[in-house]
DNA sequence: GTCTATAGGCTGATAGAC
DNA sequence: GTCTATCAGCCTATAGAC
């Protein structure tokens, strides 16, 4: 018999799943607690209010992801000068690996991040959790591309983050345009296309 | 004295501006009619309901954008074989030019599209208005890259659309990471970085 | 920590006078 | 086409019993 997860976790999991499908405003607390199978009032008891619940969903997995990314970057840097491609893989591969876990949590999380990342309302939250590690990767890219202006490198890195985030958020528009040849949910295939595209993008930047 | 725009247009403009800042669900009809300076009931009179109003906001500018893009592509193709970079410019440049107009409408529109593009709820609407032209550009890219698998080209095109859309949606996260060196609202600078990055990305795709 | 009940407010949509 | 008034439903958040 599966051990009963505590109420807090039940609510967080349900919120994560629902917020990954729809906006913050489009999901009600009643819906979350309903899906979690707990009473309405418990959401307010465990997480002060709706906004704090959303932020806790973001916070719950952020540090684990950041840590995995930094570990991977450090491992590469210990072996010598890191290439742009290696740095990108260190940043993106953990995201894919977590999403590929049989449990659905990370997949929901990645979709949720995709929408939070472009909603001004959550910009402070996103920055608080992800900017420190993003800055470390930006520095690594500056080092790998000493002859490219920093602004150009940073812009390219932001482009990369945006594509990564949306590529793994199951954007289904590609299915119609490919007449069904491509499946949006095939994350390994997306990753395989993504890396050479991004590496090529950095290679295409003008030098100083 | 400025000629008074009709109520329909007032409502569409106000809705466009508000929906560009916040989600469909986060904006109320009262807020829209309030900003437009018209009575609440008029929104339902002119546009059956909230959903239809949102779709009309998307529809209003879509065909003009598509037409400009196709005209530009055709002009290039008449001069000989189009390069990947030329095709990308034909697709993206009209978007930038509209956004640079002094009137704010297109800027709001571009932000609105950025969020609608990744909300499953609006996928059918986005596909209805934009897939025909997107397919034309995909075909042009296939021709320009005959030795690259079509799936890879299409994926790269989708990456490009995603970056374009988010790059011009004023994502302000780059401002903190650049310590203020980069301004998110500088669309010309974004465009200047974007084109070589995307061209390089296509160049980095594996050949058959 | 959990449950019930409810307060208090805002929502989209409409009916009907002008 | 416009304006006023209102309905019925849903929302978040909380108070208080257990």
- Its sign, for the CA torsion A40, A16, A172, B19, is positive
First vs last C-alpha separation in chain A: 63
Condensed to tens digits (0 to 9), the pLDDT of residues B158-169 reads 999 999 999 999
Q: What is the pLDDT of residue A128?
A: 98
| CA proximity to B99, closest of B89, B108, B90, B87 | B108
CA distances from B98 to A140, B55, B93, B132, B188 (A): 36, 20, 9, 20, 12
A181 contacts B152 by C-beta, under 8 angstroms: no
Condensed to tens digits (0 to 9), the pLDDT of residues A167-204 reads 999 889 999 999 999 999 999 999 999 999 999 999 99
B126 contacts B117 by C-beta, under 8 angstroms: yes
Banded model confidence at residue B170, pLDDT cuts 50, 70, 90: confident
- pTM of this structure: 0.97
CA B108, B110, B116, B118: dihedral to nearest 10 degrees?
-140
Residue of B nearest to A158 (CA): B174
HSE-CB at A80 with a 13 A cutoff on CA atoms is 1
What gap in Å lies between CA B205 and CA A116, rounded to an integer?
Answer: 30
Whether the beta carbon of A7 falls within 7 A of nucleic chain C: the reply is: yes
Contact state of B177 with A151 under an 8 Å Cβ cutoff: no
Nucleotides of D under 7 A from a protein CB: 1-6, 10-16
Disruptive mutation site among B204, B205, B206 for chain A (greatest number of A CBs within 10 Å): B204
Mean pLDDT of B134-148: 98
Banded model confidence at residue B143, pLDDT cuts 50, 70, 90: very high
Condensed to tens digits (0 to 9), the pLDDT of residues A14-36 reads 999 999 999 999 999 999 999 99
What gap in Å lies between CA B11 and CA A44, rounded to an integer?
Answer: 37
> Which nucleotide is closest to the Cα of A50 by its C1'?
D12
Among chain A residues 47-66, those with CB within 7 Å of any atom of strand C: none
DSSP state, A79? T
Contact state of B193 with A25 under an 8 Å Cβ cutoff: no
């Amino acid at each position: 018999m599966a051990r009963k997860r505590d109420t807090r976790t039940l609510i967080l999991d349900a919120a994560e799943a629902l917020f990954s499908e729809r906006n913050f405003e489009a999901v009600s607390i009643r819906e979350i607690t309903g899906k979690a199978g707990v009473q309405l009032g418990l959401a307010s008891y465990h997480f002060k209010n709706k906004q704090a619940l959303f932020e806790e969903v973001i916070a719950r997995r952020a540090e684990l992801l950041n840590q995995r990314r930094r570990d991977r970057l450090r491992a590469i840097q210990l072996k010598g000068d890191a290439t742009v491609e290696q740095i990108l893989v260190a940043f993106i591969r953990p995201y894919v690996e977590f999403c590929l876990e049989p449990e659905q949590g990370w997949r929901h999380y990645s979709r949720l991040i995709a929408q939070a990342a472009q909603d001004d309302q959550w910009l402070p939250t996103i920055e608080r959790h992800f900017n420190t590690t993003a800055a470390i990767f930006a520095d690594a890219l500056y080092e790998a591309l000493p002859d490219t202006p920093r602004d150009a490198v940073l812009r390219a890195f932001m482009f990369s983050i945006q594509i990564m985030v949306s590529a793994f958020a199951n954007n289904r528009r590609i299915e119609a345009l490919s007449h069904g040849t491509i499946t949006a949910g095939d994350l390994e295939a997306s990753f395989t296309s993504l890396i050479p595209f991004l590496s090529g993008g950095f290679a295409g930047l003008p030098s100083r």
